[in-house]
């Protein structure tokens, strides 16, 4: 009989969190959700924050449920989360206030202030990271410019997943995949960029020691063992960044593939041996982030289902309630190729009144405003597919290799209409699944650490055999080519 081991994955997203339980043999992986909970920002002291106490309480509830479900037979536990956000702990090991949300407005104008001191090209040369005002660098710089009391009291900065892990086992660390989202890490040397901290006069001593995915960190704290009714479960540093975990779970069997981790954000990229930092990646705005197994993730962050999520929230506030299952039905009924938007327009970044913001974007490019809700959704989905196509062409230019298949993983892979749109726009096969890629990648790193699985390629074989994958082939590629050209021609 093949040996089976159980693992717990804590997977934290920017809108919800899950505690997942997985059982793995050398041939098969099964996964189930033990507990899901909302993770919404709160308004506090005029800023947008994360309610960390509530978040950690929900996590403990989920761990207890997973432990009970398998009778306490747990090999290890690991935590992943979205990138860039962080909390500070003081010398006593206590959290100093709730962590800020990456959409908080305090970073407005911070990129320009950074570039006035350190040239933009030099920052990119040191870090290889895409310029986004939500990056950790500009969050910390904003606190420095405002003489934040929190910064004065801080002992160490911990990214969200690593902060949760610290409260589970007591180990202070920064895992390298999530650290590489910060724009403070030298991705070539895999160490904190001393020039960034020196030039921008930020305290490098706040940064914790770096560890690689798969590092053993200890066991659950004694008080948590008692509270949760379990033994000394080992805690492992997985790929703390959720996208790094999701990419580790891509069931790819060849070299010429790209991935789209589709959710609130669409993160699109390729896996390569070493970072590429040059004029092309700088001009195109690509990030080099650390991956699992010594890989580099060359990728770009695009706004994804955030636009649909915010439209639904606005419509619900106005009295019209949609479910995500309604997306395909109402968008399919709408007219194709009536308009195009830049889904990464800065005006679409902040929460609230998304339908209105989309119409503002249409008007400023000389297009007509849209009233029909299904039409708005179709325009967003088509525009996302066009964005995927453009980004993949840039990746081909940079890497000098043709992409023959695109793997879409994560919750967005369930959107059949967007998946077909992507195949048509890109002009190649699209393979969707697994939906729970982030949790699966989290668990795979734990299994690698436990030496139950001997390599990332072995893990991907297991994932491919264990997942329900769906393929989409391009049907109207030429039509999509013409539509994109025609729509761009009418924009100002």
Catalytic residues: 242
Residues 238/215, Cβ–Cβ less than 8 Å: no
CA-to-CA distance for 33 and 150, rounded, in angstroms? 36
CB atoms within 10 A of CB 285: 16
- C-alpha closest to that of 242 among 83, 87, 128: 83
Q: Which residues of 319-342 are buried (b: 16+ CB within 10 A; e: fewer)?
A: eeebeeeebbebbeebeebbbbbe
Please tell me the distance from the alpha carbon of residue 236 to that of residue 477, in angstroms, as a whole number: 45
Q: Which of 169, 208, 206, 391 is nearest to 301 (CA)?
A: 391
Q: Where are the alpha helices (DSSP H) in 214-278?
A: 222-228, 242-248
Contacts of 246 (CB under 8 A, 6+ apart): 259, 261, 267, 409, 410, 437, 438, 441
Task: Show the beta-strand stretches assigned E in 337-434.
Answer: 405-409, 429-432
Of 390, 385, 392, 434, the C-alpha closest to 410 is 434
What is the C-alpha to C-alpha distance for residues 48 and 106, in angstroms, rounded to an integer? 9
Q: Cα–Cα distance between 244 and 442 in angstroms, integer?
A: 9
Q: Of all helices (H) and strands (E), which one includes residue 10?
A: strand 5-12
Closest CA to 209 of 190, 226, 229, 234: 190
Closest CA to 195 of 276, 114, 267: 114
- Within 8 A by CB and 6+ apart from 254, the residues are 404, 405
């Amino acid at each position: 009989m093949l040996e089976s081991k159980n693992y717990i994955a804590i997977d934290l997203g920017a809108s919800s969190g899950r505690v997942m339980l997985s059982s793995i043999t050398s041939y098969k992986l099964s996964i189930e959700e033990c507990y899901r909970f909302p993770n919404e920002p709160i308004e506090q002291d005029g800023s947008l924050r994360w309610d960390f106490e509530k978040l950690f309480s929900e996590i403990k509830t989920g761990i207890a449920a997973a432990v009970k479900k398998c009778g306490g037979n747990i090999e290890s536990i690991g935590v992943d989360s979205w990138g860039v956000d962080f909390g500070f702990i003081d010398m006593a090991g206590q959290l100093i206030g709730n962590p800020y949300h990456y959409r908080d407005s305090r970073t407005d104008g911070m990129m320009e202030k950074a570039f006035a001191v350190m040239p933009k090209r030099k920052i990119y040369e040191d870090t290889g990271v895409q310029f986004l005002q939500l990056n950790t660098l500009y969050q910390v710089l904003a606190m420095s410019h405002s003489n934040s009391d929190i910064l004065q009291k801080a002992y160490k900065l911990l990214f969200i997943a690593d902060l949760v892990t610290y409260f589970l086992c007591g180990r202070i660390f920064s895992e390298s995949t999530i650290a590489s989202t910060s724009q403070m890490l030298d991705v070539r040397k895999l160490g904190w960029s001393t020039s960034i901290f020196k030039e921008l006069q930020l305290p490098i001593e706040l940064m914790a020691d770096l560890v690689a995915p798969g590092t053993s960190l200890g066991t659950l704290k004694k008080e948590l063992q008692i509270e949760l009714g379990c033994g000394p479960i080992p805690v492992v540093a997985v790929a703390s960044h959720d996208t790094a975990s999701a990419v580790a779970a891509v069931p790819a069997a060849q070299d010429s593939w790209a991935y789209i981790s589709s959710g609130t954000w669409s993160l699109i990229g390729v896996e390569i041996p070493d970072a590429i930092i040059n004029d092309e990646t700088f001009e195109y705005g690509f990030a080099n982030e650390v991956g699992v197994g010594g890989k580099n993730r060359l990728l770009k962050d695009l706004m994804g289902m955030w636009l649909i999520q915010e439209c639904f929230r606005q419509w619900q506030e106005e009295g019209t309630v949609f479910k995500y299952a309604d997306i395909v039905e109402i968008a399919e009924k709408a007219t194709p190729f009536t308009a195009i938007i830049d889904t990464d327009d800065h005006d679409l970044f902040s929460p609230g009144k998304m339908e209105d913001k989309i119409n503002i974007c249409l008007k400023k490019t000389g297009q007509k405003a849209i009233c029909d809700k299904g039409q708005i959704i179709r325009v967003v989905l088509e525009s996302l597919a066009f964005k995927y196509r453009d980004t993949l062409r840039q990746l081909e230019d940079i890497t000098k290799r043709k992409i023959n298949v695109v793997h879409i993983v994560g919750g967005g892979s369930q959107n059949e209409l967007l998946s077909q749109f992507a195949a048509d726009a890109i002009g190649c096969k699209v393979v969707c699944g697994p939906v729970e890629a982030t949790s699966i990648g989290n668990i795979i790193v734990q299994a690698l650490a436990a030496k139950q699985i001997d390599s990332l390629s072995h893990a991907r074989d297991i994932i491919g055999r264990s997942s329900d994958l769906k393929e989409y082939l391009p049907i109207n590629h030429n039509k999509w080519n013409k539509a994109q050209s025609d729509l761009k021609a009418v924009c100002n």
